[in-house]
Structures are given as C-alpha cells and as structure tokens.
Amino acid sequence: MVTAQGALDVARLRADFPIFEQRFHGKSLCYLDSASSAQKPRQVLDAMTEFYETSYANVHRGVYELGERATEALEGAREKVREFVNASSEREIIFVRNTTEALNLVAYAFGLDNLGPGDLVIVTEGEHHSNFVPWQAIARRTGADFAVVPLDEWGELRLDALEAYEGRLVKVVAAGLVSNALGTVNDIPRLAEWAHAHGAICVVDAAQAAPHRPIDVQALGADFLAVSGHKMCGPSGIGFLWGRAEILRSMSPFLYGGHMIRHVGEHETTWGELPAKFEAGTSPVAEAVGLGAAVDYLSEIGFEAIEAHEHALLTYALEQLAEIPGVTLYGPPAERRAAIVSFNVATDSGREVHPHDVAQVLDLDAIAIRAGHHCCQPLMRKLGVLATNRASFYLYNERDEVDLLVESVRRAQETFK
C-alpha cells in the first residue's frame, strides 16, 4: 500500500473499498466527507462476515467452544485497540457505541458523583456538541458552573484565557484533539497539564484524530479519550473510551444490567472488574472484530504515510480554493491543521450561496461534502455564519478530487450568480 518512496499507493488502496465501484449520477464517487464517516475496506467487511460465519455466539457466558471463540475475538479486538492508543492495560479500554456515548459515560458517571455547586466544568468554543452538551447538561443538573474557553481569529484555542479560571474549583476540562469543523489541532498535553495542576480531569474527544494520526494516551497526558470506530474505516455502532483505571474504578457505572455485576443481592449489587463494569449487556462483538480489523488495516499502511498524503491534499485544496474569488476559508493555515477544509461561497456579485445549495450542486457532480453547522453551533456563532461547507480528506482521496471540488464550486457560483 506504500510505494518505495514511502508515499501511499492510492490507486491500489482504493480497490480495497467496494463503495468506489459504484457510480453516482453517472460519475465516480468523489467522497470528501470522511470527517463525518469513513468508507469501509473489504478487509473490515470480510473480518466481520467471517466472524459471523465461523465464530459467532454471545461472549463471556457460554462454556462451549463457540462461546469461547467469540470471547477471544472480542478480547483480541480490545488488545488491538489498547496497542493502538498505547494504553497500559486492556482493562482501560471500554467498548461503547461511539464517541458521543463514551463522552456521555464520563459526563454522567464521573460528573454526577463529583460535581456540585461551586465547581467548574470547562469546555472549548470549538467543541462538537458531543463534548459540549453533555457537560453543559450535567453541570446544570449538579449546580456546577460551566465555562467555554474562547477561540482566537484562527479558530485556535486561546490557552491564555484559562487564566480567568485561576482560583476556581475546576473539576473537568474537556476538549477535542482535532476540531471536526476547522481541523484545528489542540495542544492537549498542555491542557491536560493545566487541568491536573488545578485538580481537574482532562477529557479528550479524539474522534477526528484517531483515524488520521497516531494516538499515544501516555504522551497526551489526559485522563479519558473517546473514539468512534466508523470514522476510522471500522463499522458503525462501535467506538471506545480509554480511561485511567484508577478513575474508572472510583466511578459509579453508567448503564446497569447483565455482565457488569459481581454480586446481585436483593437490596444491593456490587460491580464487576474493569472493563465489564462499564459494558452492561451483550457487546457489539462483530463490530468490535470489525474495529480490530480497521486498526490492523490502518496500522499496516502506517500513519506516517497517511498523514503525509492527507497533508498534501489539504495544502493543495487550501491553495486552489483560495484562488477562487468569493470563497471564504475558515481555520488556521495548513501546517497547523488536520485535513479538513471549511469554507463558504459567494458569487462575484457578493451573493452568499447557502452551503446546502453548494452541496447540492456538488452532489450532481457525485462529490460528497458536508454542509451545515457540523454539530458546532457555538463555533458557527463565533465565525458569524449559520453553516459552512466542509470537505475532509482521507487515505483514499486523490489529488484529482481536489480539482473536481474546485471546478464544482465554481459551477455553484455560476448557478447562483
């Protein structure tokens, strides 16, 4: 998948993705919405099918061989994920549905027991709603205060603004590693250090980072990290939460039911060991197998080549879009961001073309982008817009697709002039 020069062999790699065999509106699919959800390689689909055909049973229950095989598959996937993020123990990996569920788990299970009046929860202005709304809601419910760290004119976090919270009882600092709307990369090690110096935990949304760059929870220094499988070539319906074992052990469960118990008495129940304590009910086993296969797929290709490829596409896209009069680009320069491009389009007479209309014109050219507020309404308000267009790149995108995007954006301008 990587050429002798260390570059991605994209043509070969695209052949792994059955979706690209289809045509839309008579054209090849130009999929520029991987930040929303990534396409799936055959390797992931085959691993899931094979598991269903040969090894499927419920896990952690049956004493029969098939049940053991299924359990091994689930735990094998957990070990792959552990290694993927460099966690010190597989007990710290909790399978959940997606990043949103992982963040809700922390907000509820940590927040309800640890927050109260006088405490402060801090999030950032650039957060996806999934790392904003749960904290806002739990803070309100517990009587804790809720603060939003502002972004600067580049859409980057103003770490200097943290000074305003000196002397406060900070309990939680929640931030994304990479912004889904702007591609901004936050300095999590510094934020985690600040959080710890103030007695707070640091909760990281890594949904936009994990598919594209190596994650090392030891180096990040945070306490929790949430990831969705579907954005990293894995199936939908599975993601994971990494959390420090000592904090997870101190927390109450999030969901109650089967598998998560140690002993159930008539009036009282004790909880199982990690990770079972946070995995009530039957696990998404085949999905975990698919996620494990996605980890293998990405690791085999290597993040160095993936990042370099995406960065080249990003740089080219920013250059090309900047040359179109009437296009407004948001976010920091290429060297300080991930491969996400948010932009708005106006005609040469200055008429704004609504992102939905841009996306509709692009769709007729079989180009898939996201148009909307990207689940980041506070950020949209900061930018002074209702919505933006967002093109995002992944390992299977090609340079030609940037040209198609640019051509189609010009067509949108022409249509609405």
Of 249 and 356, nearer to another protein (C-beta) is: 356
Using CB under 8 A as the binding rule, whether residue 154 contacts another protein is answered as no
What's the CA gap between 204 and 221, in Å, rounded? 10
* Counts for the chain of helices (H) and strands (E), in that order: 14, 18
What's the CA gap between 161 and 88, in Å, rounded? 33
Q: Which of 40, 31, 127 is nearest to 391 (CA)?
A: 31
Q: Which segments of 185-291 are extended strands (E)?
A: 201-205, 224-228, 239-243, 261-264, 269-271
Using CB under 8 A as the binding rule, whether residue 356 contacts another protein is answered as yes
What's the CA gap between 250 and 252, in Å, rounded? 7
Using CB under 8 A as the binding rule, whether residue 23 contacts another protein is answered as no
Task: Reply yes or no on whether 30 is catalytic.
Answer: no
Using CB under 8 A as the binding rule, whether residue 416 contacts another protein is answered as yes
Using CB under 8 A as the binding rule, whether residue 346 contacts another protein is answered as no
- Choosing from 30, 233, 375, 376, the catalytic residue is 375
- Answer for which of 360, 399, 400, 407 binds another protein (CB under 8 A) is 360
Q: Is 320 exposed, middle or buried (0-12, 13-18, 19+ CB in 10 A)?
A: middle
Q: How far is the CB of 411 from another protein (least distance, A)?
A: 8
Count of Cβ atoms closer than 10 Å to residue 113 Cβ: 12
Using CB under 8 A as the binding rule, whether residue 136 contacts another protein is answered as no
Among the residue ranges 158-166, 196-204, 206-214, 360-368, the one whose residues contact another protein (CB under 8 A): 360-368
What's the CA gap between 237 and 284, in Å, rounded? 7
Among the residue ranges 143-151, 229-237, 314-322, 358-366, the one whose residues contact another protein (CB under 8 A): 358-366
Of 220 and 375, nearer to another protein (C-beta) is: 375
Among the residue ranges 198-206, 235-243, 248-256, 348-356, the one whose residues contact another protein (CB under 8 A): 348-356
Amino acid at 316: Y
Using CB under 8 A as the binding rule, whether residue 404 contacts another protein is answered as no
Count of Cβ atoms closer than 10 Å to residue 114 Cβ: 17
Using CB under 8 A as the binding rule, whether residue 386 contacts another protein is answered as yes
Q: How far is the CB of 389 from another protein (least distance, A)?
A: 11
Cα–Cα distances in angstroms (integers) from residue 403 to residues 7, 313, 400, 410, in the given order? 20, 10, 5, 11
Cα–Cα distances in angstroms (integers) from residue 391 to residues 166, 168, 368, in the given order? 38, 39, 8
- Answer for which of 40, 373, 374, 382 binds another protein (CB under 8 A) is 373
Per-residue x/- track, 306-345, another protein (CB under 8 A): ----------------------------------------
Using CB under 8 A as the binding rule, whether residue 38 contacts another protein is answered as no
Q: How far is the CB of 161 from another protein (least distance, A)?
A: 27
* # chain residues binding another protein, by CB under 8 A: 16
Q: Which segments of 238-294 are extended strands (E)?
A: 239-243, 261-264, 269-271
Q: Binding residues for another protein, per CB under 8 A?
A: 25, 354-357, 360-361, 364, 371-373, 380, 386-387, 415-416
